[in-house]
Amino acid sequence: MQQTRDALHDFTTRYCDSWQRRTGHAPASQALAGVPSPCIVATQPDEVWWQPQPFTLPATLEAVERALDITLQEALTALYTTQFAGDMTARFEQQELTLLQVWSEEDFLRLQENLIGHLVMKRRLKQTPTLFIAATASEQEIISLCNLTGEIILEQPGTKSRTVLAENLEIFLTNLQPVTGSLADNG
């Protein structure tokens, strides 16, 4: 888990530094304006500026594991329980994406409910359990962690279509490149 936490911290630092260089301020989000979070460092008329903050809840996704009687990859737990932060836009090779993060304690509860719903759908379709970690520009594709192998995959929910992007989450995070242009302006 520590390698994943370190890779997430490294990417987050690169992301925040990129924002600072480009804009002269912390990362900004219009989508999160008005949504309480310990990450908010400034409130502007139509956006909030944020900085990552330490995760203050127990660092576990036990509720998801209990609900589905499943053991989750430790890397996934590390991704979602290392910090509170805004979602971060990035590129992995040619794939633009939004790395999902937990914004607040309330958001963490919502995330767990969504992970449970996703796993229930996968089970109903008799497909390998995956857990989403990033959104793409296409509503038809998401980036997920395969719970059996630990691989990071591009998948189309509801289908068997999947492409392996990285051997594991640490490699994926290490190779992410921050995107702080127009893609980043949506939150």
d(CA 40, CA 38): 6
Q: Which two tokens stand for residue 129?
A: 């359990």
Give domain status of residue 75, yes or no: yes
Give domain status of residue 47, yes or no: no
| Virtual torsion, Cα 107, 79, 100, 126, nearest 10 deg | -90
Q: pLDDT-based confidence at 183, cuts 50/70/90?
A: very low
Q: pLDDT-based confidence at 187, cuts 50/70/90?
A: very low
| C-alpha R_g of the chain | 16
d(CA 146, CA 128): 7
For residue 163, the surrounding DSSP H or E stretch is strand 162-166
Number of domains in the chain: 1
pLDDT in tens, 140-168: 999 999 999 999 999 998 888 899 999 99
Q: What is the pLDDT of residue 181?
A: 60
Domain range for residue 75?
2-26+54-180
Give domain status of residue 150, yes or no: yes
d(CA 172, CA 165): 8
CATH number for the domain spanning 66: value is 3.40.1580.20
pLDDT in tens, 41-60: 999 999 999 999 999 999 99
How many Cβ atoms from other residues are within 10 Å of residue 48's Cβ? 24
Give domain status of residue 186, yes or no: no
Average pLDDT, the chain: 93
Give domain status of residue 162, yes or no: yes
pLDDT in tens, 86-126: 999 999 999 999 999 999 999 999 999 999 999 999 999 99
For the cut 50, the answer to whether the pLDDT of residue 178 exceeds it is: yes
d(CA 128, CA 105): 29
